[in-house]
Amino acid sequence: MSGMSERPAPVSFAEAFRFWLKLGFISFGGPAGQMAIMHTELVERRRWISEKRFLHALNFCMVLPGPEAQQLATYIGWLMHGTRGGVAAGALFVLPSLLLLVLLSWVYVAFGSLPAVAAVFYGIKPAVTALVLHAAHRIGSRALKNPWLWGIAAAAFMAIFALDAPFPAIVLAAALVGHWGGRRWPHVFVTGAGHAGSTQAHASALIDDDTPAPAHALFTRRRLVQVLAVGFGLWLLAMAVLLALVGVQGTLTQMGWFFTKAALMTFGGAYAVLPYVYQGAVEDFGWLNAQQMIDGLALGETTPGPLIMVVAFVGFMGGWLHQVLGPDALFWSGALAASVVTFFTFLPSFVFILVGGPFIETTHGKLMFTAPLTAITAAVVGVILNLALFFAYHVWWPQGFTGPFDAPSAALTALAAIALFRFKVGVVPLIGVCGLLGVAWRMVAVVGG
């Protein structure tokens, strides 16, 4: 039992850097899968941060516009090693995905869809479905401590599943329930409330429940002004360079402005903003067509990194088709446009975390702040369960309910779920094996056909 209570050794920036780099390459499964990976690695295995502090940070990221999993990595990196830690964690969460999507976008536009790649994706999609379901179970088993929180999760699920309620409205409603309920029945909304047994089983973490916020995480007006000045300055500098190079009507300038607006509208994750991106990228600017947008979403769903990284594909296609660097440099045109789009999409996320982090760190022990966040966590469990059903529907009935049922995909989903729930298989082996099984099944189908 003493091993459970020993606090882990301090983590160097270099060690954390290596972990964030690894996370950038294995962060499959959309936000739910990515948060499950981070929870397993950071809370359970490495014990860099406690359950309560992890959920508190997650709740904050959930109510921000932008990709919540990337912001959660940024927050934890910032909490551990200051601004450089936050920037490293957030950037490394995105860069591997950007590089991979640039490469896949080039393969897609230059060579068309490759059967081998399609076969790998066929195997990965059921694994992603199982990962999201596992994340709902993992977070729910820890966050839903009493029937009231279960009720909030069920109401959130019904709101999004049956009523198609927007995610921001669900978050706001849950926050109001938590705020009101925390005043009347505070014991219901105490995070981790309950039993002595659960407290005794709690393993000490490097950033534990009662660990004071480090000096860099304390609020000062000077630091607030610095972060805002640097963030806005970087945006102005990048936009000024684009205006000087290609003018107001240039494709890259239009992309920078459009994706700045998109970044500020991504409440509720990528799915909430995709209609806006589709309308602008396909209908207004003609950076790509509708079928290419759907194919890009498939690439975004099956590559590591946040799903909103589909914008890198949109940027690549627009840069390639509009030949922003000329007809002799199509690859570099696409790569530059993808990089520009990624910069403008993710810059606000870093500013939100570095500005808001010190405020959030002062609230993790105060019920008037934590009760709404506890209710939001419960609601998010219902939303993640809905996402799992959404994935299952598209994987098992790829042509809709009127089309045929894809029995091999359903069987692979079941096998992946058993591997996760029963045998605790890691995410990377699971993704790898399912990808190979997808290739094997396609080969058998070709031979049999």
Q: What are 287-301's pLDDT values in tens digits?
A: 998 778 877 876 776
pLDDT at 411: 95
What 8-state DSSP symbol labels residue 250?
S
pLDDT at 201: 52
State the angle between helix axes of 167-184 and 367-396 in degrees (0 to 180), rounded to the nearest 10: 140
User: Do residues 36 and 430 touch, judged by C-beta distance below 8 A?
Assistant: no
What 8-state DSSP symbol labels residue 283?
I
Instruction: Give phi and psi for 49, each to the nearest 5.
Output: -145, 145
pLDDT level of residue 143 (50, 70, 90 thresholds): confident
Which of these ranges, 34-38, 155-159, 257-261, 317-321, has the smallest mean pLDDT?
34-38
pLDDT level of residue 245 (50, 70, 90 thresholds): very high
Structure-token pair, residue 411: 């069987």
Residue 11 CB-density burial (10 A; 0-12 exposed, 13-18 middle, 19+ buried): middle
pLDDT at 40: 86
Torsion sign across C-alpha atoms 330, 336, 340, 343: positive
Query: What mean pLDDT is predicted for residues 29-48?
Result: 83
What 8-state DSSP symbol labels residue 144?
-
pLDDT at 374: 82
List, in order, residues 6 or more apart from 183 with CB less than 8 Å away.
Answer: 368, 371
Query: What mean pLDDT is predicted for residues 382-398?
Result: 83
User: Do residues 208 and 53 touch, judged by C-beta distance below 8 A?
Assistant: yes
What would the pLDDT profile of 211-242 be if each residue is shown by its tens digit?
Answer: 888 889 988 999 999 999 999 999 999 999 99
Query: What mean pLDDT is predicted for residues 19-26?
Result: 91
State yes or no: pLDDT of 408 exceeds 60: yes
Place of tokens 């760190």: 361
HSE-up of residue 105 (Cα within 13 Å, Cβ side): 36
Instruction: Give phi and psi for 60, each to the nearest 5.
Output: -60, -45
Measured distance CA(203)–CA(5) in Å, rounded: 5
pLDDT at 112: 60
Residue 87 CB-density burial (10 A; 0-12 exposed, 13-18 middle, 19+ buried): middle
State yes or no: pLDDT of 445 exceeds 60: yes
218 SS3 class: coil
Structure-token pair, residue 257: 């402005």
pLDDT at 379: 87
pLDDT level of residue 192 (50, 70, 90 thresholds): very low
What would the pLDDT profile of 65-105 be if each residue is shown by its tens digit?
Answer: 788 889 999 999 999 999 999 999 999 999 999 999 999 89
State yes or no: pLDDT of 197 exceeds 60: no
Place of tokens 């030949």: 323
Query: What mean pLDDT is predicted for residues 111-121?
Result: 72
User: Do residues 121 and 298 touch, judged by C-beta distance below 8 A?
Assistant: yes
Q: Nearest-5° angle of CA 35, CA 76, CA 48?
A: 85
Place of tokens 């014991």: 187
pLDDT at 421: 92
Measured distance CA(435)–CA(119) in Å, rounded: 7
| Kind plus residue range of the DSSP H or E element containing 93 | helix 68-111
User: Do residues 58 and 68 touch, judged by C-beta distance below 8 A?
Assistant: yes
Structure-token pair, residue 226: 């610095």
Amino acid (one-letter) located at 260: T
pTM for this one?
A: 0.72
Of 434, 381, 342, the closest CA to residue 145 belongs to 381
Measured distance CA(226)–CA(223) in Å, rounded: 5
What would the pLDDT profile of 430-443 be if each residue is shown by its tens digit?
Answer: 888 998 999 899 88
Scored b (16 or more CB within 10 A) or e, 150-165 reads bebbbbbbebbeeeee
Q: Average per-residue pLDDT in the chain? A: 85
State yes or no: pLDDT of 269 exceeds 70: no
